[in-house]
Chains A and B, each alone.
Chain A
Amino acid sequence: MTGTINLDGQTIPFTEGQTIIEAATAAGVYIPHLCHKPGYTPHGSCKLCTVKVNGRNCSACTFPAADGQTVISNNDELAHDRRRITQMLFVEGNHFCPSCEKSGNCQLQGVAYHLQMYDNHFPHFFALREVDASHPDILIDHNRCIFCNLCVRASQEKDGKNVFGIAGRGINKRLVINSPSGQLKDSDIAVDDCAAHICPTGAILIKRTGFQVPIGQRIYDHKQISEVALAAEGGSCSRPAAALAPSQEVAHDK
Chain B
Amino acid sequence: MKTFLDTVLAKANYQPVRLMSILRDVQAEYRHIPAEAIDILAVALKIPRTQIIAVVEFYSFFHLTPQGRYDILISDSITDRMLDKENLLSYLSSALKVKVGEVRADGLVSLNNTSCTGMCDQGPAGLVNGLALTRLDRPKIDEIAILIEGQTPLQEWPAHLFAVNDNIHKAGLLLNASFEKGTAIQAAFSNGTSSTLAELDYSGLRGRGGAGFKTAMKWRFCAEEKADAHYVVCNADEGEPGTFKDRVLLNSYADQVFEGMTLCAAIIGAKQGFLYLRGEYLHLYDKLQATLAQRRDENLLGTDILGLGLDFDIEICLGAGAYICGEESALIESLEGKPGIPRNRPPYPVSSGYLNKPTVVNNVETFMAAANIAIHGGDWFAKVGTEKSTGSKILSICGDCAKPGIYEYPFGTPIRQILDDCGAEDVMGVQIGGPSGTFISNQELDRKLAFEDLATGGSFIVFNHSRNVLAIAQNFTHFFAHESCGFCTPCRVGTSLLKNQLDKIVNGHGSAGDVAELEKICQLVKSNSHCGLGQTAANPILTTLQRYPDVYEKQLKDISYEPGFDLDGSLAIARRMAHRDDAAAHLSQVEE
Asked whether, in the complex, the Cβ of A89 is within 8 Å of the Cβ of B564, the reply is no
Q: How large is the interface on B (under 10, 10 to 19, 20 to 34, 35 or more residues)?
A: 35 or more
**B49 at the A interface (CB under 8 A):** yes
**A178 at the B interface (CB under 8 A):** yes
Residues of A within 8 A of B487 (CB): 45
Residues of A within 8 A of B493 (CB): 88-89, 91-92, 122, 171
**Interface code B463-503, partner A: CB below 8 Å = 1, 0 otherwise?**
00000000000000000011111111110111111001000
Total count of chain A residues near the partner, CB < 8 A: 41
Asked whether, in the complex, the Cβ of B50 is within 8 Å of the Cβ of A44, the reply is no
Per the bound structure, the CA–CA distance linking A35 and B135 in Å amounts to 47
Question: Which of B258-266, B299-307, B524-532, B582-590 forms part of the interface with chain A?
Answer: B524-532
* Residue among A48, A85, A171, A180 with the highest chain B CB neighbour number at 10 A: A171
A167-B57, A170-B492 known; A177 vs B530 contact (CB < 8 Å): no
Question: Which of A9-17, A57-65, A193-201, A238-246 forms part of the interface with chain B?
Answer: A57-65
Per the bound structure, the CA–CA distance linking A251 and B344 in Å amounts to 34
Q: Which of B344, B346, B484 contacts A169 (CB 8 A)?
A: B484
Asked whether, in the complex, the Cβ of B57 is within 8 Å of the Cβ of A164, the reply is no
Asked whether, in the complex, the Cβ of A169 is within 8 Å of the Cβ of B485, the reply is yes
Residues of A within 8 A of B407 (CB): none
Asked whether, in the complex, the Cβ of A88 is within 8 Å of the Cβ of B489, the reply is yes
Residues of B within 8 A of A180 (CB): 35, 39, 49
Asked whether, in the complex, the Cβ of B528 is within 8 Å of the Cβ of A169, the reply is no
Which A117-168 residues have C-beta < 8 A from chain B? 122-123, 125, 146-147, 162, 164-168
Asked whether, in the complex, the Cβ of B48 is within 8 Å of the Cβ of A165, the reply is yes
Q: Which of A64, A88, A170 contacts B483 (CB 8 A)?
A: A170
**B439 at the A interface (CB under 8 A):** no
Asked whether, in the complex, the Cβ of A169 is within 8 Å of the Cβ of B53, the reply is no
Residues of B within 8 A of A164 (CB): 50
Per the bound structure, the CA–CA distance linking A50 and B564 in Å amounts to 31
Closest residue on chain B to residue A57 by CB atoms: B527
Per the bound structure, the CA–CA distance linking A159 and B458 in Å amounts to 48
Which A163-192 residues have C-beta < 8 A from chain B? 164-174, 176-180
Q: What does DSSP make chain B's interface, helix, strand, loop or mixed?
A: helix
**B113 at the A interface (CB under 8 A):** no
Per the bound structure, the CA–CA distance linking A174 and B339 in Å amounts to 13
Q: Which of B50, B481, B530 contacts A47 (CB 8 A)?
A: B530
**B322 at the A interface (CB under 8 A):** yes
**A234 at the B interface (CB under 8 A):** no
Asked whether, in the complex, the Cβ of B495 is within 8 Å of the Cβ of A170, the reply is yes
A57-B527, A180-B39 known; A123 vs B50 contact (CB < 8 Å): no
Per the bound structure, the CA–CA distance linking A50 and B54 in Å amounts to 27
Asked whether, in the complex, the Cβ of A46 is within 8 Å of the Cβ of B489, the reply is yes
Asked whether, in the complex, the Cβ of A47 is within 8 Å of the Cβ of B485, the reply is no
Closest residue on chain A to residue B487 by CB atoms: A45
A45-B487, A92-B493 known; A168 vs B57 contact (CB < 8 Å): yes
Q: Which of A50, A59, A91, A167 contacts B53 (CB 8 A)?
A: A167
Asked whether, in the complex, the Cβ of B50 is within 8 Å of the Cβ of A59, the reply is no
**B15 at the A interface (CB under 8 A):** no
A88-B497, A164-B50 known; A170 vs B485 contact (CB < 8 Å): yes
Per the bound structure, the CA–CA distance linking A171 and B57 in Å amounts to 12
Per the bound structure, the CA–CA distance linking A57 and B487 in Å amounts to 17
Asked whether, in the complex, the Cβ of B490 is within 8 Å of the Cβ of A85, the reply is yes
Q: Which of B49, B344, B496 contacts A171 (CB 8 A)?
A: B496
**A210 at the B interface (CB under 8 A):** no
Asked whether, in the complex, the Cβ of B53 is within 8 Å of the Cβ of A44, the reply is no
Asked whether, in the complex, the Cβ of B489 is within 8 Å of the Cβ of A45, the reply is yes
**A8 at the B interface (CB under 8 A):** no
Chain A nearest CB, measured from B321 CB (Å): 10
Asked whether, in the complex, the Cβ of B488 is within 8 Å of the Cβ of A171, the reply is no
Residues of B within 8 A of A92 (CB): 489, 492-493
A91-B493, A169-B57, A170-B482 known; A85 vs B528 contact (CB < 8 Å): yes
Contacts A46-B488, A170-B484, A171-B493 given; 8 further ones with Cβ under 8 A?
A45-B487, A57-B528, A59-B344, A85-B489, A164-B50, A170-B483, A171-B492, A178-B48
28 A-B pairs with C-beta separation under 8 A:
A44-B344, A45-B487, A45-B488, A45-B489, A47-B489, A59-B530, A62-B344, A81-B527, A88-B497, A122-B493, A123-B564, A167-B53, A167-B56, A167-B57, A168-B57, A169-B57, A170-B482, A170-B483, A170-B495, A171-B484, A173-B486, A174-B57, A176-B50, A176-B53, A178-B48, A178-B50, A179-B49, A180-B49
Q: Across the A-B interface, give the 9 residue pairs with the lowest CB-CB distance, nearest first.
A: A165-B50, A162-B48, A88-B493, A62-B344, A167-B54, A170-B484, A167-B57, A173-B486, A170-B486
